[in-house]
A and B are shown apart, each in its own frame.
Chain A
Amino acid sequence: MVNTTESTDAQITDVQQTHLTARRHSPAEHLWAEFAKTASAEARVSLREIPFQVMVGIRVDPLSEGGRRIGAVTGGLPTACGQVTTGVAGMAVLWLGPDEFLLVAEEEALDGTLAAELVAALGDGAGQTVDLSSNRTTFELAGPSARAVLEKSCAADLHPRAFSTGVAIATVIGNVPVVLWKTDNETFRVFPRASFADYLGRWLLDGMREFTVAESTTWH
């Protein structure tokens, strides 16, 4: 009897979860039509939003016992500015500070137990792990001119000699505090907080115009 009740509860929770997932909105979804226009084959740069990524804020001394236990779950913790460690199921941990990290993962790749696993791993160690999935959204800027678009309003040195593939930093783009992660030669992921997504999305679109708008003959 008890088992039946439990499974019924679990089923109800599942149904509620599916219901909620279908109804949620990403912070920049009203810009998707504009973003899609940038994705033409001849465009030198394109922009898209990758909604609903799982993000977990981790505060821990990476050399402490708790830090080592968390590292065992995440595939290690980065130890210096710019570093990103990768783990199972596409999990990546970005360095934000000497004792502050951002875990990013695709929602589909996880079974929903990650946050609980991290809490258990930290145990009674000093620190915290907090689900921050709806704190930031993810933009992906890609193409041969992606760096040129960012350099218009990001003062960090993005030249490949200083900012190579795989590097992530916390910095500022167009007055918006972001985490910036170079995931490939010409691909950057930008993580603005949700309330800045509209502004930053439009800001990047504006910076992309010279590379995406087809030349109009009437201008000559």
Chain B
Amino acid sequence: MLLFPCPNCGPRNETEFHYGGQAHVAYPEHPAELTDREWAEYLFYRQNTKGLFAERWVHSAGCRKWFNMLRDTVSYDITAVYRIGQEPPALRTSQPTTGMGMSTTRQGTPEGVQL
């Protein structure tokens, strides 16, 4: 069983949560000015990260609140959880690589995070 540390409820079974995809995908500032291609990329194109990834989760069977989580898609290691609207915490660049030693962390920024 994998325990997720909900920011409101503490550690809970992963089956109480639902996935919300890549975090920090900003809504376009002027959506009406986007080309079809840009709009499609906003709606459907996401990172397919192998390694540390910033993603959204909702504690559907508990507090019903959304939050962000930094999770390694290879090892399932959870590095951090933080609230919606917050920036991902800065990661130490000396952080040991996880899983199969193929961490793709670049300059302490997880893939998928547009800072």
Chain A interface, number of residues (Cβ within 8 angstroms): 13
- Taking a contact as CB atoms under 8 Å apart, the answer to whether A156 and B12 are in contact is yes
Main secondary structure of the interface of A (DSSP, over half): strand
Q: How far is the CA of A170 from the CA of B11 in the complex (A)?
A: 13
Main secondary structure of the interface of B (DSSP, over half): loop
Q: A81-B8, A81-B9, A171-B12 are in contact. Are A155 and B1 (CB under 8 A)?
A: yes
Residue of B nearest to A155 (CB): B13
B15 contacts across to A, CB distance below 8 A:
155, 172
Number of A-B contacts (CB under 8 A): 39
Residue of A nearest to B62 (CB): A170
Q: Does B10 contact A (CB under 8 A)?
A: yes
B8 contacts across to A, CB distance below 8 A:
81, 97-98
| A122 → B minimal CB distance (Å) | 20
Q: Does A142 contact B (CB under 8 A)?
A: no
Q: A81-B10, A156-B12, A171-B12 are in contact. Are A96 and B63 (CB under 8 A)?
A: yes
Q: Does A123 contact B (CB under 8 A)?
A: no
Q: A96-B63, A97-B64, A177-B61 are in contact. Are A172 and B9 (CB under 8 A)?
A: no
Q: Does A29 contact B (CB under 8 A)?
A: no
A170 contacts across to B, CB distance below 8 A:
61-63
- Taking a contact as CB atoms under 8 Å apart, the answer to whether A98 and B61 are in contact is no
- Taking a contact as CB atoms under 8 Å apart, the answer to whether A172 and B64 are in contact is no
Q: Give a binary string over B53-78; 1 marks a CB under 8 Å from any A CB, 0 the rest.
A: 00000000111110000000000000
Chain B interface, number of residues (Cβ within 8 angstroms): 14
- Taking a contact as CB atoms under 8 Å apart, the answer to whether B13 and A97 are in contact is no
Residue of A nearest to B63 (CB): A97
Q: How far is the CA of A129 from the CA of B13 in the complex (A)?
A: 30
Q: Does B16 contact A (CB under 8 A)?
A: yes
| B59 → A minimal CB distance (Å) | 9
A157 contacts across to B, CB distance below 8 A:
11
Q: Does A169 contact B (CB under 8 A)?
A: yes
| B105 → A minimal CB distance (Å) | 31
Q: Give a binary string over A60-104; 1 marks a CB under 8 Å from any B CB, 0 the rest.
A: 000000000000000000000100000000000000111010000
- One of B11, B13, B63 near A172 (C-beta < 8 A): B13
B63 contacts across to A, CB distance below 8 A:
81, 96-98, 100, 170
- One of A100, A169, A177 near B9 (C-beta < 8 A): A169
Closest 7 CB pairs of A and B: A155-B13, A97-B63, A81-B9, A172-B61, A177-B61, A170-B62, A97-B64
27 A-B pairs in the complex with CB atoms less than 8 angstroms apart:
A81-B8, A81-B9, A81-B10, A81-B62, A81-B63, A96-B63, A97-B8, A97-B65, A98-B8, A98-B63, A100-B63, A100-B64, A155-B1, A155-B13, A155-B16, A156-B12, A156-B13, A157-B11, A169-B9, A169-B62, A170-B61, A170-B63, A171-B12, A171-B16, A172-B13, A172-B61, A177-B61
A interface residues, Cβ below 8 angstroms from B: 81, 96-98, 100, 155-157, 169-172, 177
